[in-house]
Structure 1
């Protein structure tokens, strides 16, 4: 096992241990399914306590980088991170940063415009009949006037997720996971009271048609217009919220 046991400094020991083991896994110095030393052995080699080792291993397990198995052949074993796990980790981090106000609305909207426009272009070139059917299914659901605001927003997320899936590009799908699963729900939460469903459904149908016709230029243009139009509604929603705050201007 290629771990550097002498790289630990005092302070934040559990995090340092988890970081060292994670890097060894990501760099291939720890092989897939390789068994790690016991907690007692890791504590001895790193020169730290077993509770600190246990805390470090919990961090790695939460990141799906290691797994534990009981029994005579049990122990702690290396997992090689997959695309789905990596995407979830990115999404969790992005959601946390959004919640802390690390990204402003301008940044989020600009990121959505540019990345989703690219996805539309690639989706038009690479989509399958199944992708088109999935888009049509969400549009049909969105046309149901009895649909709750929450269910409408959930369908909106799935529509955009399907566009990304239709690109057929694995790295792009992984990178877009945070955009779809974090940024879209945040903006939907802000605008749902001001949401014009008919405009959204019409935009989705036009995008689906352009993707179906493999018209990459038009699909990209339509997605840009769709997200930019959402920005107008978002500005209206934020203005209304500010006016409703104590001390704000009343309508």
Structure 2
């Protein structure tokens, strides 16, 4: 490889984040650095919107994502608000995300390897979720599916909703280490992001998600495994078709 070709192939750019992602990332860094400590109360949504110069809806979406990741929790009532969660196993997920991202960027590992490992981990995760899930887990999964059904295929939130769906299943498993790995690997692969999301693919994905949730709600581990395998097989097939174009 000559010098000119080497310069062309250098990776020096970084993904430009949307406002919601910027708010989420800044709050995440503040929590992980210790700037915001366990139990700290975050400023109200209106104040955060003013500080970041974004809408309250943008702040609300960022807080919801951080709640899903287990970094903050919301306490209702007159003395409630958004509080920093105790960081333990969630820090593991962050470390995995950073490590996998760096290795992918350097080319030390392949995207396909990460995606394959994530899919292998999602099978025991969904079986454990069927056995260990709580009512709140099921309701949160139903809420994600409702939001996916209402979203158009070009909605920029679609990949994030898909990530939240699979992360919530892993969290419902009750195995925090497994949940951290599934969430981290899914964050780096984001299969929906790489799909050619036609309305047909979008509708099929929502239908498959509904079947998975129904099996988890019924505590049917075998049905949950069959549903997640069917879903992941469907995603792999369309990812392969997209890659060949």
Report the alpha carbon displacement of residue 192 of structure 1 after superposing the two structures with TM. Answer: 4.2
Query: Hey, what does 1:220 align to over in structure 2?
Result: 225
Map Cα deviations across residues 138-190 of structure 1 (whole Å, 9 max, x no partner). 1111111546432111111111011011001122122223223222x2x3332
Task: State the Cα RMSD in Å.
Answer: 2.6
**In 1: Cα distance, 2:160 partner to 2:176 partner:** 23
**Which of 150, 157, 161 is the aligned partner of 1:144?**
150
**Which of 215, 223, 230 is the aligned partner of 1:210?**
215
**In 1: Cα distance, 2:134 partner to 2:220 partner:** 14
Query: Hey, what does 1:235 align to over in structure 2?
Result: 240
**In 1: Cα distance, 2:34 partner to 2:211 partner:** 45
Report the alpha carbon displacement of residue 66 of structure 1 after superposing the two structures with TM. Answer: 8.4
Task: Find the residue that maps to 1:149 and give its secondary structure.
Answer: coil
TM-score by length of 1: 0.59
Name structure 2 gaps, 5 residues minimum. Answer: 1-28, 36-86
Task: Find the residue that maps to 1:156 and give its secondary structure.
Answer: helix
Query: Hey, what does 1:12 align to over in structure 2?
Result: none
TM-score by length of 2: 0.60
Superposed counterparts of 1:101-120, under 5 Å: 101-120=107-126
Report the alpha carbon displacement of residue 95 of structure 1 after superposing the two structures with TM. Answer: 1.8
Say if 2:205 is the partner of 1:191: no
Report the alpha carbon displacement of residue 101 of structure 1 after superposing the two structures with TM. Answer: 3.4
**In 2: Cα distance, 1:132 partner to 1:164 partner:** 12
Superposed counterparts of 1:1-251, under 5 Å: 82-146=88-152, 148-183=154-189, 185=190, 187-193=191-197, 196-240=201-245
**In 1: Cα distance, 2:229 partner to 2:171 partner:** 18
Task: Find the residue that maps to 1:143 and give its secondary structure.
Answer: helix
Map Cα deviations across residues 32-74 of structure 1 (whole Å, 9 max, x no partner). xxxxxxxxxxxxxxxxxxxxxxxxxxxxx9996888xxxxxxx
> In 2 relative to 1, CA 193–202 (structure 1 residues): closer, same or farther, beyond 3 Å?
closer
Task: Find the residue that maps to 1:237 and give its secondary structure.
Answer: helix
**In 1: Cα distance, 2:166 partner to 2:96 partner:** 18
Task: Find the residue that maps to 2:157 and give its secondary structure.
Answer: helix
**In 2: Cα distance, 1:137 partner to 1:63 partner:** 27
1:194–1:233 contact (8 Å) kept in structure 2: no
**In 1: Cα distance, 2:215 partner to 2:234 partner:** 18
Query: Hey, what does 1:58 align to over in structure 2?
Result: none
> In 2 relative to 1, CA 231–156 (structure 1 residues): closer, same or farther, beyond 3 Å?
same
Name structure 1 gaps, 5 residues minimum. Answer: 1-60, 68-80, 241-251
Greater Rg by CA: 1
Task: Find the residue that maps to 2:107 and give its secondary structure.
Answer: coil
